[in-house]
Structure 1
Amino acid sequence: MPSALDKLTAGGFSVGVELPLDNDWSPAGDRARREARRLPGEPDLARHGELARLADQLGFRALWVRDVPLYDPQFGDAAQVFETFSYLGYLAGVTERILLGTAAVVLPLREPLLTLKSAATVDHLSNGRLMLGVASGDRPIEYPIFGRDFAQRGKAFREQVALLRDAGAATLPAGVQLLPRLRKPLPLLVAGLAQQDPAWVGEHMDGWLAYPGTPEDHVRRSGLWRSVAGSTPNTKPYISFIHLDLLDDPDAPMQRHRFGAAVGRNGLIDELHAMHKAGAAHIGLHLRRSHRPVREVMEEIAAYVLPRFHGAGEAAGSTVPLASAA
């Protein structure tokens, strides 16, 4: 049976979406946030289940969720708000095919065996769709609140990776088991370097979640990853994200901004081809900057962009009407 990573890279390249599926970083979205008295960076989650199901129906390959335990006004980003593993359990129940990825769980803040149990639970509930992205964390304010040592997070990260790899066998007393049992090892993807040497990351991790950047940035970064992880792109994939504002005009030229771009769909197709050529096996689209309704953008991408990369049959199986084709 193919692993979640095998499915992610089937065909050589795929496209997913990052939650929350809201455009609260756009001017209109920010006005709506203020009117609703939500915090800066706190998205509107009224339609989150509907939009997650839509992503599945339209043929996006993966849904990505972040792990932000506490809202810190210095960062101003609440991600998708919900606790990561609880939310993944919900998403497993409302979707059927789409892969479920974390980008990324902050291991040193969590109790290791409970992290393993949570991940194993989601993997079972989703029928093997979980990809566990992990990180050491970059928000110093969280560590003392959780009673953890920020300076030792790199060591704690390595120890927890070892526990995830052996499913707790070296930790648990004889005869004690953690259920549910993993049917196969979980794919472990690292965000950044997690305070580790690149060679260690390449040896111990199954893929790299890289920060957004231009195709030129990814040529350099993916080259580093391939040098430590091996030369076969789909075996240990290089994955990244684009903060996308899809413009109405299909031929609108690229206007780059921090972590992404405003562009028409034809320019998006060119950008995704360039990302693939630069070494990326998967790109997740982050839509919080979108000036247009998120549903409309997803439908347009499914109609015109996904078939270029996933194959016509795979992306065209939805019965959802395509508003953008009207």
Structure 2
Amino acid sequence: MHPRFHRLLGEKHFSIGLELPLDNDWSSAGQRLRQDAGRPFGVPDLKQHANLARLADQAGFRALWVRDVPVYDPDFGDAAQVFETFSYLGYLAGITQNILLGTAAVVLPLRQPWLTLKAANSVDELSDGRLLLGVASGDRPMEYPLFGVDYAQRGALFRNALELLRSQGQGRLPPGAQLLPQRPEAAPLLVAGLGQQSPAWIGEHMDAWLAYPGTPEEHRRRVALWREVGGDKPYISFLHLDLAADPQAPMQRLRFGGRCGRLALIDELQALREAGVQHVGLHLRRSGRPVAEVIEEISQHILPRFHDAN
């Protein structure tokens, strides 16, 4: 297991992070604000993003996860965190100190591989080794002709880029040439989905799996499949959360997550841990409450139950 995962998972082998953007633009109140501001659906309000990222870092969340959405497509209706992935992670590296910075996930076939390697190494250097490099083959066909990339070749392009990232380009540069900055080791490589590869190939070549959100029972089945091909490599997923103000509010299932109070959230996280999930990134865009308030409550009442005492 890559040493950086010990920072993510800790001795208890389970941890909690946050998926950006840190906005509640999918809630009823957030949608009203979005409409008043003239933003399309799926484009968050980022006025507080820096303060909230700092808050998450100080609160003890283990990772901030950003997505790679090159072009806003109204058919998908989600601009993610708006900013370009590596540029934004470089900024986050400068305003946070401890929290790991993960991509979930960089679309490798749409990016020039050498520049992807340079960008990843730059973020890793600027963050003092906090990058978790999640990668994927992409699932939005509209982007491929726009970028001049053959959609049918995305599996081969994914493998080629991954080999370059893994090897840090060694043996592929002219004599005396260097790609800077150089890192002592490659950042851990995590995959979302299968990257157009076989499960066995993914289990052999990737350091961890970024699984789609699901119920504890769904994760139990997926974890079993991952263990067959990936052994004890980390299994990571996400949970869309609307945390109710009433601590005793029961779990109400929503797509990719649920609405509940903190007691039911504790039960859900415990069930996910027992199912074999080792890290959960909480997605708060459905939150009916202010995001800062939810972060504070989770920090006070939930993180101490799951993270290491230190």
What is the identity, as a one-letter code, of the residue corresponding to 2:189? L
Q: In 2, are the aligned partners of 1:222 and 1:278 still within 8 Å (CA)?
A: yes
Task: List alignment gaps of at least 5 residues for structure 1.
Answer: 315-326
Secondary structure of 2:16's partner? strand
| Aligned-pair CA distance for 1:112 | 0.2
Amino acid at match of 1:7: R
Q: How does 1:9-158 map to 2 (within 5 A)?
A: 9-10=9-10, 11-158=12-159
Summarize the alignment of residues 169-188 of structure 1 with structure 2, pairs less than 5 Å apart: 169-188=170-189
Quote the offset at 1:173 in angstroms: 1.7
Q: TM-score, normalised by structure 2?
A: 0.98
CA distance in 1, matches of 2:47, 2:229: 43
SS of 1:190's partner is: strand
2:265 to 245, 262, 268: 268
Give the TM-score normalised by the residue count of structure 1: 0.93
| CA shift for structure 1 position 169 | 1.8
Whole-angstrom CA distance in 2 between matches of 1:213 and 1:48 = 27
Aligned partner of 2:136: which letter? A
Whole-angstrom CA distance in 2 between matches of 1:170 and 1:258: 46
Q: Which residue of 1 aligns with 2:197?
A: 196
- 1:285 maps to what in 2? 282
1:46 and 1:183 mapped to 2: Cα distance? Answer: 36
Q: Distance in 2 between matches of 1:295 and 1:200?
A: 41
1:127-185 CA distance string (max 9 Å, x none): 00000000000000000000001111011001111010111124322221101001212
Count of aligned positions: 308
Cα distance in 1 for residues equivalent to 2:170 and 2:202: 22
Q: Secondary structure at the match of 1:261?
A: strand
Whole-Å Cα distance in 1 between the matches of residues 37 and 44 of structure 2? Answer: 10
Query: Aligned letter for 2:288?
Result: H
The one-letter code matched in structure 1 to 2:185 is K
* 1:181 counterpart SS class: coil
Residue 4 (structure 1) shift = 2.5
User: What is the alpha-carbon root mean square deviation over aligned residues?
Assistant: 0.9
Is the contact between residue 3 and residue 128 of structure 1 (CA under 8 Å) also seen in structure 2? no
Could you tell me which amino acid in structure 2 is paired with residue 151 of structure 1?
A: A
Task: Detail structure 1 runs of 4+ shifted over 4 Å in the superposition.
Answer: none
Quick one: distance in 2 between partners of 1:52 and 1:187? 22
Distance in 1 (CA, whole Å) between partners of 2:294 and 2:21 is 14
Letter in 2 for 1:163: L
| Pairwise CA distance, 1:50 | 0.3
Map of 1:4 onto structure 2: 4
Matched residue type, 1:79: A
- Structure 2 counterpart of 1:296: 293
Counterpart position of 1:318: none
% same residue: 68
Q: Secondary structure at the match of 1:244?
A: strand
Shift of residue 311 of structure 1?
3.3
- The residue correspondences of 1:177-326 to structure 2 (distance < 5 A) are 177-230=178-231, 232=232, 236-312=233-309, 314=310
Corresponding letter in the other structure for 1:49: A
Q: Give the Cα–Cα distance (whole angstroms) in 1 for the partners of residues 188 and 251 of structure 2.
A: 34
Does the 8 Å contact 1:104/1:135 carry over to 2? yes
